[in-house]
Every structure is written in structure tokens, then in C-alpha cells.
Structure 1
Amino acid sequence: MPSVKLVTLDVTNTLIRVVGGVGHQYSSVAKVHGVELDPDVINQAFRKNWKEQEKKFPVFGRNSGLTSRQWWDSLVQKTLTHSGMDSTDNKICIVSQHICTHFETGGWTLIPSSVSVLEELKKRNLTVGAVTNFDDTLENVLRRMSILQYFDFVLPAWTAGHAKPDPEIYLQALKIANTSASESLHVGDDYQNDYIGPRKVGMKSVLFCPNIANVPIDVEHIVTDLPDILNYL
């Protein structure tokens, strides 16, 4: 079996996560503007509207003539409206813009052990890439989290023009790294995007699932602690 030369990693919920969840963050920002919203209701509204927005305008609107900021502003306003905020309230635009800016400057925290794992990957002289369904703010977010320096390249869906699990984003990563699929490993927390997707182009993959109770029954390679991915190298 060829040794691993390239490790690609998902970002959201693999290396970093939203502090307290989306509902907590949105409601906290709204409260600054005197708007009280239920975090649980926001979470439900966000999930529903995310699916609809992604279906209507894939890849953060990149291929539909939108900027990622326009895409997010639309999604956030729909989420706020479906969470109980009056769509005619003049504050809705202000709150939405504040939320969008907030996630460009904060709202994130590191997953435990993510830094130590990245450090170890670099010590082993592996090529390390971020392959993730993220917009064009990815590099800035990783820089603020002080982990950008561990990556040889970052490939968000926005740059690739394709979102996981589309094989094209993985093929682009292999081309950037100049590495064969058989010498590459992808790690992430989503079954379709991060486990099945890379296997369609011949890459190895490991599912990161902190809650073992949520593991699909047909997953062979899985870790519940991020440092355990080192066992697959």
C-alpha cells in the first residue's frame, strides 16, 4: 500500500467550530441591537434556509453572479425572519450585516487537539491542504485562528467552483499537491462530503466523529479523537 504523502482536512467541525453554535451567535448579535431571538429557533431556521439557499445558489452563489457576502446576507436575513424577526423591521439589514462581519472576525474556536495534529503532520513533512465547503474568507479565518501557516494550500469550495462531495474539488486538490490519489488521505466530519466523496477519486478517507453513536454502520475508518488520524499515516 502506498504511503501517505498528502493529507487534506475539512475545516468546519473538524478543525474549528462555531462557539456555542449558530443560534447562540446570531441571537447574541441580535441582542446587541435590542432584538431578542430564541437560539433553538434560529438553529432550526438556519438549517432549513441553508439547504434552500445552497440548492438555489450553489457554492455560495459563486456561479450565480453573487458575492459570498451577498449570499450570506440573504441567508441570514431569511433565518432572522423565520426566527421571529419582522421582515419590515429596519434593523434586520443592520443585524444581518453585523452577523456577517462577526463571522469574518470572530465566533470561531479551535477543535481540541487540532493544532497539535497539524504540527505533527508538518513534522512528518507531509503536504497538508484544507479542502472544505467554505467561502472566500477561509484564509482570513484560518489566519485569525493562527493555523493558516500549517497548510501548504487551502482550497475552499468558492475557489474550486465545486463543493464537496463533488469529485472535482478533490481532483483539484490532487493536482495542486501533484500527488496521486492512492498516496492521499482526507479527514472530515461529514459522511458524504468527507468519507464517500474522496473515495470516489481513489483517495483514502477517515471520518472524524466525536459522537460514536452517530456513526453510519458502513464506515470502516473512523476516529473519535482527532489525533487518532495519525494512525492512518
Structure 2
Amino acid sequence: MGHQQAGVMRAPLRWVLWDVKDTLLRVRSSVGEQYCDEAKRMGLSLRPAEVGAAFRRAYGHHCSRFPNYGIAQGMDGQSWWTAVVKATFSQCGVRDPDLLSTMALNLYQNFSNAANWEVFPDSKSALVSCSSLGLQLGVVSNFDNRLEAILRSCGLLSHFNFLVTSEAAGVEKPHAAIFDQAMQKCGVPPTSIVHVGDHYVNDYLASRSAGIHGFLLDRTNNSDRHHVPKEHRFSSLDELPARLKQMDECS
């Protein structure tokens, strides 16, 4: 197929956009355990299972009532997370307002550094391989403004030309507007962009509906993802560079 007609040739790949949480890194231990560790430092004895369940309720409630860190209601990432932490511990019987405020601030700061995050073993090599293919890298993430500090402390920030977080963008995936902001930064047509993420709707479907080549990272080889075409999904980031090379050779 060396003499494809110009009309059917695909634009060469220029950019790879990345989701972050559960794609490049994950929370190191459970949220319940991390919150309990903080409570223990304050002299409280709580059970991780109970705190984890309380967190899931508080987080779910705040996500539905104040979506995307409550930006539309005048909140920001820090005030939103402060409210989630306070609601979590309140459900577990902690009533002292000063104690709640202290723990909320400490946890917000704790989650800004590498101690609480684990970089997947295939992340750095995939980022390096993509760069060595001549591709530029950016981030599109439903995350608050701590993301830059987290990526820096995890040794990943230098790989990226830009970060688009949902807090800064004012809109979150799967909304098309967050991908529009990223595409503007890329300055190339969507057909020259790949997006990699672990979420079927927010990453795979949303990027594809924006005209970007969406790939689904399915680390657990989840059987309910098997309807996604094989060439659009992989279980390790180690598979990505060869896939990108293959795509570019076909363009």
C-alpha cells in the first residue's frame, strides 16, 4: 500500500495524551488505611474498613452534588477535598472541628507527594519510548491542581509538554471541551493525536468521539472490556510503543 491516495492517508502521529490516575500511577495503599494513619497520628483509633466505607459515601455525595471540585459553586480542589475528609471522619464519630480541619489539611498535603502514590512499573519506559519515537506528550486528567506537584515528586513531570486538569479546565472528562483545550495546545488535527487511559467512558469513548485515536489500558484484562477492538486495548503500557510505530507506518 505504498501509493495510498492522498484522500485516505492518515495524518502522521504527533502527540500522545495521557490519563494519570490508574494509568500511570495509583494510590499506594487504600484510602481507608491512609486516612486511619492520619487519625492515629492525632491519637484516634479507627478501623480502615469503616473509614474506607465512609470515604466512599462522602466522595460519592460530593461528586454528585459538587461535580469537578465544585468549581461551578465557587469551590476549588482544596476546599472540596477538605469537605470530603471532614464528612468522612464525621461519619466515623469525630466531632472536634479543629481536629477535622487539621486532618483535612494534612491529608490534602500528604497526597501532593510521592509517598502516597505508586508509579506503575511500565510507566516511565513507555513515556521514554514514546518520546524516542519523536512524539510529544501531554496530560488530560480529571484531577485537581496538585497534579503538577505529584508528577514532579514521582519523577514524571519532565516527560510532558503540558497538563490539562479538570480543575484548571473548568470541565471534566468525558466532556468534549477538556479534549478541545488539549487539542488547542497540541496545535495539530485530532487524527495526529493518541489518548491513553484506563476508563472506558472518560478516556476511550470520550477521546474517540473527539476524533482522537483512543486506546484503552486494561491492566486486569477485564472480560467486560472485550467488546473493545483488540487493536484499541492492551493490558500493559509496554505494548503501546510498538502499536504507535505500527500506526505511523500505516499512515
TM-score between both structures, scaled by the size of structure 2: 0.87
TM-aligned CA deviation for residue 20 of structure 1:
1.1
Instruction: Note closer, same or farther for the CA distance 1:56–1:156 as it changes in structure 2 (3 Å cut).
Output: same
1:30 alignment partner AA: A
Matches of residues 122-137 of structure 1 in structure 2 within 5 Å?
122-137=131-146
Matched, 1:37 2:42: no
1:100 alignment partner AA: Y
TM-aligned CA deviation for residue 216 of structure 1:
2.5
Q: Which one has the largest radius of gyration? A: 2
Question: In the aligned structure 2, how far is the partner of 1:21 from the partner of 1:215?
Answer: 24
Q: Which runs of 4+ in 1 moved over 6 A?
A: none
Question: In the aligned structure 2, how far is the partner of 1:16 from the partner of 1:97?
Answer: 23
Matched, 1:96 2:118: no
Tell me which of 162, 171, 185 is aligned to 2:194: 185
* Equivalent pair of 2:26/2:117 in contact (CA under 8 Å): yes
TM-aligned CA deviation for residue 88 of structure 1:
4.1
Moved more, 213-222 or 148-157: 213-222
Equivalent position of 2:212 in the other structure: 203
2:154 alignment partner AA: M
Tell me which of 15, 19, 25 is aligned to 1:16: 25
Tell me which of 138, 149, 162 is aligned to 2:158: 149
* Equivalent pair of 1:209/1:215 in contact (CA under 8 Å): no
CA RMSD of the aligned region, Å?
1.6
Equivalent position of 2:176 in the other structure: 167
SS in 2 for 1:212: coil
TM-score between both structures, scaled by the size of structure 1: 0.93
* Equivalent pair of 1:85/1:92 in contact (CA under 8 Å): no
Identity %: 29
Question: In the aligned structure 1, how far is the partner of 2:210 from the partner of 2:140?
Answer: 14
Question: In the aligned structure 2, how far is the partner of 1:11 from the partner of 1:50?
Answer: 19
1:40 alignment partner AA: A
SS in 1 for 2:128: helix
Equivalent position of 2:35 in the other structure: 26
1:87 alignment partner AA: R
2:242 alignment partner AA: N
2:196 alignment partner AA: V
Question: In the aligned structure 2, how far is the partner of 1:27 from the partner of 1:72?
Answer: 16
Moved more, 11-20 or 215-224: 215-224
